[in-house]
Structure 1
């Protein structure tokens, strides 16, 4: 029963509202009245509630809500079986004492009538054991229904919060990884006194603006991701002092289509980091978006430099984010064949 303790103490305020809970209670009492009277209109016409039916109804409702608001709250704050049985006993004693007060004392004073002529203690307590069971059981059942509605909503909130936290963590992994690589590139250009180092710094500044502002958004325009990719490629071209070792083609029906930031760039970063760069066999990048389907393909010759394990930080990160953003709506495939590495990504944007 640990789940009851944990979730009762941490129940989120954003779950089932008080108004909704009151509405459930109204529906509950309507159904009770329906099955008691309305379902059998003949019985309802013939039956005239007497004094002790009314008093029992009063005791029933008071016990119902005493058990609902006081006892159940006490029991499941820190669930233990002894607390549960103690709570049931308290509700039973509450029902019995209240019924005695109303039907044996108050009605005698007001109407000179009492319900029980045999007021032997054991007889009275045993008889009310049966009558008290109904409000206690029904109150417990309604409390459990509302509790589990709140529990389901609370668990959904926790899942959303965990999802948001994981996305933020994955984004935090991306930025340092990219900055580390880019600063190394610029360091090399400055070290060799390249006249393009200032241009590289300007490009880095442009990319950092994207990293600072756009990457914090849940989704961005596809055109912004493409601009980021182009700036990244230009930095690499400045470092290699070549301009034709990347062949980028884009064909999109709607440049305002929205995607999560950094959902395409890890495949390009991987190709530029581990691929063999040359103008004769350039890295080819092909992006198509048609009929709400994104198809992205990156192909590169495998370089001789030391490579990370397939996927590395960037691609493993990408896989996790795709699972979060597009569960069962994406496919990602890596192929290593004929000394060429191919990364293919398909996303259903519907």
Structure 2
């Protein structure tokens, strides 16, 4: 709750107090405020804010409930002390008028005013609790956001090394085969790295940029794959400027190229974004001759990022079958992303 809202609650309470006083005048037909109307209002005001700023913060302890009960009675005592001082000491000295009969003991006065003070102290205490609760909640939310940001930054640092490692493996195989495609592959890799390094610093990029990475990656991989027609890539982009976290889809494609069988088989990649729902579907056949115990690093990274960035707004289904690997991902974006 913002400070402005807390202030409005304070104003609302005092307007109720004033309104109650006006109703009292109309009901009892006194026509004017008497001096006791002023003294009780002043006692309420002083008791309210002394309790609010000093008593409650000092006695609040969730682990010791009895301290809060003591604090409540301290607040009552403060109210009674102010009212007694004003009505039974200051007022008689200035006007010769007092609220109670002369000789009334403080103990009797205290007991008689517990009722009158209870509402003021109760409201004062609860308003402090409101402010305290929302302050703690705001701090907790801030800590969660900072932790999420730190986690995302840590996960992002894992992306480039993983991406470079996979690409260098591909280029190594081209160099090893003395392929004429080695130099073009190095050039394409340098272009990809320039783009990825620049955009990884951002929290969000446009969907068409992410798809652009994928297209560049496919172009790099085509340099070492003979049967290009087996690489089926279908895209249906209705909102290319849809904001997405950078390098969120690329690791799935990297994984397909790293562990896929492209001798006589390929893969099918489909991307669409109808009605603010991104649908990413990838199916590739496994290379049974190549096993890599570290193959899940990139995918595990994406899973963690999805949980942080799109909680309850994404659905990721991965089928790791004997001969093929299927990724089916849906992310629902808010409409303000239009």
> Are 1:299 and 1:342, in contact at CA under 8 Å, matched by a contact in 2?
yes
Out of 27, 41, 58, which is 1:43 matched to?
27
Structure 2 partner of 1:348: 332
Which residue pairs with 1:197 in the alignment? 182
Counterpart of 1:295 (choices 259, 262, 279) is 279
1:330 to 308, 311, 314: 314
Q: 1:171 aligned to 2:138?
A: no
Deviation at 1:271, TM superposition (A): 1.1
When the two chains are superposed, the root-mean-square deviation of aligned CA atoms in Å is 3.1
Q: How far apart in 1 are the matches of 2:274 and 2:2?
A: 41
Corresponding position of 2:53: 69
Name the counterpart of 2:241: 256
Aligned to 2:13: 28
Question: CA separation of 1:252/1:92 partners in 2, compared to 1, >3 Å: closer, same or farther?
Answer: closer
Q: CA deviation at 1:66?
A: 0.4
Q: In structure 2, how many angstroms separate the alpha carbons of the residues matched to 1:153 and 1:44?
A: 47
The answer as to whether partners of 1:16 and 1:153 remain within 8 angstroms in 2 is no
Q: Map 1:233-244; keep pairs closer than 5 Å.
A: 233-238=218-223, 240=224, 242=226, 244=228
User: 1:1-350 alignment to 2 at 5 Å?
Assistant: 16-17=2-3, 19-35=4-20, 37-38=22-23, 42-43=26-27, 45-46=29-30, 48-76=32-60, 80-81=64-65, 83-116=67-100, 117-190=102-175, 194-238=179-223, 240=224, 242=226, 244=228, 246-278=231-263, 280-304=264-288, 305-308=290-293, 312-336=296-320, 339-349=323-333, 350=335
For 2:259 and 2:182, how far apart are their aligned partners in 1? 23
CA–CA distance in 2 between the matches of 1:35 and 1:290? 58
How many aligned residue pairs are there? 331
Contact 2:60 2:71 in 1 (8 A): no
The whole-number CA distance in structure 1 between the counterparts of 2:215 and 2:194 is 14
Structure 1 residues 236 and 83: alpha-carbon distance in aligned structure 2, compared to 1, 3 A threshold: same
Unaligned runs of 5+ in 2: none
Give the whole-Å Cα distance in 1 for the aligned partners of 2:29 and 2:133: 38
TM-score w.r.t. the length of structure 2 is 0.83
Return the offset for 1:41. 7.9
Structure 1 runs, 4 residues or longer, greater than 6 Å off? none
Q: CA deviation at 1:89?
A: 4.6
Which whole-Å CA distance do the structure 2 matches of 1:46 and 1:316 have between them?
Answer: 77
Question: How many angstroms does 1:248 deviate by?
Answer: 2.4
In 1, Cα distance between equivalents of 2:190 and 2:56: 60
Contact 1:72/1:143 (8 A) holds in 2? yes
In structure 1, how many angstroms separate the alpha carbons of the residues matched to 2:80 and 2:249?
A: 70
- 1:155-194 C-alpha deviation (Å, 9 max, x unpaired): 4434433433333333233222222322343445456655
Deviation per CA, 1:111-135: give whole Å up to 9, x if none: 0122332333433343344443332
Give deviations 1:5-62, integer Å, cap 9, x for gaps.
xxxxxxxxxx623x33222211222233345545x78416446443223212211110
> Which deviates more, 76-85 or 135-144?
76-85
**Normalising to structure 1: TM-score of the pair?**
0.80
Distance 1:44 1:148, change over 3 A: farther
CA apart distance, 1:73: 2.2
1:8 aligned residue: none
Where do 5+ consecutive residues of structure 1 fail to align?
1-14
Which sits farther off after the overlay, 175-184 or 158-167?
Answer: 158-167
- SS state at 1:216 partner: coil
List per-residue Cα deviations over 1:247-279 (Å, max 9, x = no partner): 32323233333322222212212211221122x
